[in-house]
Chain A
Amino acid sequence: MDLIQVKDLSFSYPTKKDTLKNINFTIREGTFNCIVGENGSGKSTLIKCILGLNKIVTGEVIKETHIGYLPQKSEIQTSFPASIEEVVLSGTISTNIRSIFYKKENKELAKQVMEKLNIYDIRKKCFADLSGGQQQRVLIARALCATKKIIVLDEPTNGLDPSIAKQIYELLDKLKKEENITILMVSHDIDRALKYADNVIELINGEITFEGKPSEYRAGGEQ
């Protein structure tokens, strides 16, 4: 099943024309997808178009389900007083946006997800006090509370030690294999992306220059 279809998508910012040009691709259920490319190639813009954070004028994005999103880190979060529990639970908002309080099933889901990711025992700790790797784990848990099918990550391993970054990739791989969660992530780290991904999308200057299996990317890319 196709979870996300991007059709003829083009996007311009008021200050920067043609950030994305004529983008087409689909994300299939149960696959690990990496978008790679240099800084300024339009990766984050593409993610924001898919999530509806950027208003699409040309082309369309068809989504089959709720998406769990893991944005790039914001400065506010470095000193924000919020417990892990509060952060993870907030992920359930998209499923009951109208009610005033969290429902029992929301809390139950948050508990299950925290147990799965081994953060239930530290749920009372402050998010800002955690290490970078643990913070990403919490944000992945929050994303899993928002969706049962697909999570979208914007450079989740930025600024992490290589060994911690590897753990994040392994966690995502495990989620794909054991829970059939589809992964779509933007990454700088091409080597690792190629190792875990089923499907690689390369962006250069807002255009897709490659889409396909990692083995084919290696063959074509490293001349």
Chain B
Amino acid sequence: MFQVVAEMMSHAFIQRAVVVGSIVSLCAALLGVSLVLKRYSMIGDGLSHVGFGILTIATAFGYASPLYIAIPCVTISAIILLKIGNNSRIKSDSAIAIISSSALAIGVAVTSVTTGMNTDVCNFMFGSILAMSKSDVYLSIGVCVVVAILFIIYYRKLFIVTFDEDFAKASGLKSKRYTNIIAILTALIIVIGMRMMGVMLISSIIIFPALTSMRIFKSFKKVIISSGIVSVVSFFMGIYLSYVYNISTGATIVLVNLVLFILFSIIEYIVRK
């Protein structure tokens, strides 16, 4: 096994994927706990579809680094999504469904008019380990560091706002601000992560680790720590298995997450009994 790992790590593109993938997995899992508890799981899904639409348009216009366009656009969409969900008579789940399918449709339409379903588009959909360029790596690391620092700074407040929004407001916290922060950070992680995981699969690395950890752990802090570990472990196992058996990386990571989820559920069942 060590030989395989050594051989695997000798490829520059895999090194890049491992660096970016592990920190993205970690950040996604941290945010995922709040998103799942706040019943915002679907936001990840919606935003990744928006990201797809924007990436296809950017590619169609021939931008070499579509990430720089996708990041601000997806971030703005995240804020709009929350605003619609909070204020109007369209509930947030329907709002997300409308926006995500529209964005996907725009992406597909733009693709058919311009380049057709080529490998680039396929990579956006299902992820590619080859997708990371060197500048993408630096950008990704920068974004993840910012996400992690903000998460630590706001950890206490995120807990209070997630657990009891009314109490948070009565204590003088601006709860909308923290919801916005979560949405923006999520948007950043999604854009960075979807090149590798693919649009269709990225939301799973946000949701799965949190749900898996909540099977067993019963305090917020433990769930957060466990989610981080579960996510990073799933990523490494996924990328290893995908290399050995030549399966799509994104899909393998999701499947490992699924296996861990089932495992944790079984443990929960046995412990409760």
Contacts and interface: CB of A to CB of B under 8 A. Distances in A.
Contacts of B167: 69, 71, 90, 142
Interface string A52-80: 11000000000000010101101011011
Given A76-B39, A82-B163, A86-B159, A97 B219 contact: no
B172 interface: yes
A77 B164 contact: yes
B160 interface: yes
Chain B, interface residues (CB within 8 Å), range: 20 to 34
Interface residues of A, number: 33
B157 A126 contact: no
B170 A86 contact: no
A53 B170 contact: yes
A86 B153 CA distance: 17
Nearest to A72: B166
A91 B167 CA distance: 9
Interface in B92-120: none
If over half of B's interface residues share one DSSP class (helix, strand or loop), that class is named, otherwise mixed; here it is helix
B163 A94 contact: no
A76 B163 contact: yes
Nearest to A96: B156
A90 B159 contact: yes
Interface string A79-106: 1111101110011011001001110000
B217 A69 contact: no
A51 B170 contact: yes
B148 to A, nearest CB: 14
B219 A90 contact: no
B219 A124 contact: yes
B171 interface: yes
B273 interface: no
Contacts of A72: 166
Which of B160, B165, B171, B173 has most A Cβ within 10 Å? B171
B147 to A, nearest CB: 16
B216 to A, nearest CB: 10
B160 A100 contact: no
Contacts of B164: 71, 74, 77
A81 B217 contact: yes
Contacts of A71: 164, 166-167, 170
Interface in A96-131: 97, 100-102, 124-126, 128-129
B169 A52 contact: yes
Given A71-B164, A76-B163, A81-B223, A100 B172 contact: no
11 contacts: A53-B169, A77-B164, A80-B162, A81-B218, A82-B218, A83-B219, A90-B167, A93-B156, A97-B171, A97-B173, A126-B218
Interface of B: 37-39, 152-153, 155-157, 159-160, 162-173, 214, 217-223
The 6 residue pairs across chains A and B that have the minimum distance between CB atoms: A126-B218, A83-B219, A94-B171, A71-B166, A69-B170, A51-B170
